Amino acid sequence: MDPFEIARLQEYLRGKFGLPNLSVRGRANKDDSAEVYFGDEFIGVIFRDDEDGDVSYDFNMAILEIDLPERPAS
């Protein structure tokens, strides 16, 4: 992805989620994806899909169970 495309994605995600400190950064040696950060924390990858001239983006975010809040006691 070029810098203009990355900037457009960042603007869209910041507005959609209301998170001004969310950033989208290019990946070294990769032109089909970019990394998404919340502050300094890596949260996922956006992949670009250009099928038959129709461009779409897939945001992939892994959530580890250990990062989730504890279950309330029964």
Summary mean pLDDT of the chain:
94
* Whole-structure pTM value: 0.87
End-to-end Cα spacing for the chain: 48
Domain residue limits, the chain: 3-65
Per-residue pLDDT tens over the stretch 24-42: 999 999 999 999 999 999 9
Distance CA 42, CA 16 (A): 18
Rounded CA-CA distance 58/45 in Å is 8
